Amino acid sequence: MKIEKIDNHVESLLLTGMIVSTRFLRAVQDIYHPNLIEASFVRTGAKWCMDYFKRYKKAPRIHIQDIYNSHRRNGLDPDQAELLKEYLESISQEFSRAKKFNVDYLLEKVEVRFKEQSLKNLAEDIKALVAEGKTQDAELLQLGYKQIQRPTSQGVEPLVDRNAIYEAFASKEGYALFTPPGDLGKFLGSIERQSFIAIEGVEKRGKTWWLMQFAIWALQAGCNVAFFECGDMSQRDLIRRLMCNITRMSDRHEGKLLIPVLDCRYNQDNSCSLKQRACSFGCLNGEEKLSFAEAKGYVPCTTCKKTSDEKRFRGAVWYKWEHVDRLDWRTAEEAGKKFSTRFGGRRLMLSTHPTRTINLQGIETQLDIWERTKNFIADFVVVDYADILDKEDRRTTDARMIENDRWAAARTLSQKRNIGFLWGTQANADAYTKALVSETNTSEDKRKNAHITMKITLNQLPEEKEAGIMRVGKLFVRNDRFDRRRTCTVLQCLDLGRPYLSSFLS
């Protein structure tokens, strides 16, 4: 069998984009030409995709298999057929996450690749003409060279460019990555590409738990997720936390656990008169909750929360006893396989590093390595956490400048790779005694707030921690209004690896 070596992975990614993404096909046709593709099997597949797009105005997606089968029956070269068969099998999971395909990032890489190949072709043709003594023809060839460049790379006229205006107001398909569940999702909104979000809280407030939870939500939504642990926790610790979350089991406790559950204040104070109410009596004595013995038979109610009549619902917290099994490695392994199968096509890469041994440049290098060796292109990157990364420039000694450089580099990474980027940061000492983290609790250098698109705050008094309650706030939201005094109440049970169980707006 003839084996073809592709100069780099970009051609393989090009074909994947042409197969799964209509938006990518529409944009790449401005710079596409068959002679810019070195691998003949990629060139063949790309032609199929372009022909399909010209006829149906969309990417072939799963129909690429029908196209392949038809060509194989009608004389496709055996070597080509085998290479394409292997390739199509390797990208089968990409079809399920086509909406999350990182179009803009790949377009930039393909443009660079086509420029390189175009210049290489030009140089070879000029060299051949010079060798034949056709100097004038070589000069004419050079003068007639047409630069490879997408229209958007040359700038746009935003007042009159129809395509640019359409793209600005088009649906968020391909840009929105995921939305957290429940009222928390209504409160925070969707997490999008090129967003740079920080989670801020005091020490031991649960930042790592929340970073892991956002990674899981991204996976469930079809994103490829890269998680970088940079000092506080080991690979072992993170895997145990991950498995506790997806199994709803504990690696520390076995037996009964008291779990917070969502309830309605009107159910608790017995002021609800609706027939569909789940309970016929309340659980409050004035403002004080009755004990379980005193409130025997009480049933929490979320009926109005689940209907269009949500105005009748006012969030509150009740509790229930739940039996919890101890998580072991065999159960964890099986759960991991089930999770991966259920959310097939989504991949999680984990990289752990000691404190101060990696910076944003190192993180980008690792993302490049995964892209080349594993065909893994991240949609969502999580870093735990900002304050213990190495500095970006070893020559810099000023602490405030080091901090600003770090946050600016993170913002650049989110834009350059067209990803959602999330990391944690520690609030200053004043936040320990405050009920609500505010703008004044930013540690080190306040300039870092200029780089983010949103800051999520974790607010929790000692009694709330004991009760399994977290109040999530938001600060510095770009392109939207925010009120730092408003929070979303989240119920949680960290013994089950769940920083989020349910939520209601405070």
DSSP string, 186-209: HHH--EETT-EEEEEE-TTSSHHH
**Number of C-alpha atoms within 13 angstroms, CB side, residue 33?**
14
| Contact partners, residue 310, CB within 8 Å, separation at least 6 | 304
- Give the Cα separation of 359 and 377 in Å (integer): 19
- pLDDT for the residue 272: 93
3-state SS, residue 272 = coil
The pTM for the full model equals 0.89
- Find tokens 């080991």 and name the residue: 234
Distance in angstroms between the alpha carbons of the first and the last residue of the chain: 66
Instruction: Render pLDDT for 93-148 as a digit per residue (tens, 0 to 9).
Output: 777 777 888 999 999 999 999 999 999 999 999 999 999 999 999 999 999 988 88
- Find tokens 């990391």 and name the residue: 423
| Segments in the chain below pLDDT 50 | 1-7
10 Å CB burial of residue 156 (0-12, 13-18, 19+) is middle
- Give the Cα separation of 431 and 112 in Å (integer): 47
| Contact partners, residue 223, CB within 8 Å, separation at least 6 | 97, 100, 177, 178, 346, 379, 380, 420
- Find tokens 């608790």 and name the residue: 268
CB burial of 3-40 (b: ≥16 within 10 Å; e: otherwise) equals eeeeeebbbbbbbbbbbbbbbbbebbeebbeeebbbbe
- pLDDT for the residue 174: 64
- pLDDT for the residue 158: 85
- The CA dihedral of 392, 397, 401, 407, to the nearest 10 degrees, is 30
- pLDDT for the residue 161: 82
Helix, strand, coil percentages in the chain from 3-state DSSP, rounded to 5: 45, 15, 35
CATH fit for domain 176-249+339-505, picks 3.30.1280.10, 3.40.50.300, 3.30.450.20, 3.40.640.10: 3.40.50.300
Instruction: Render pLDDT for 292-334 as a digit per residue (tens, 0 to 9).
Output: 888 999 999 999 987 767 778 999 999 999 999 999 999 999 9
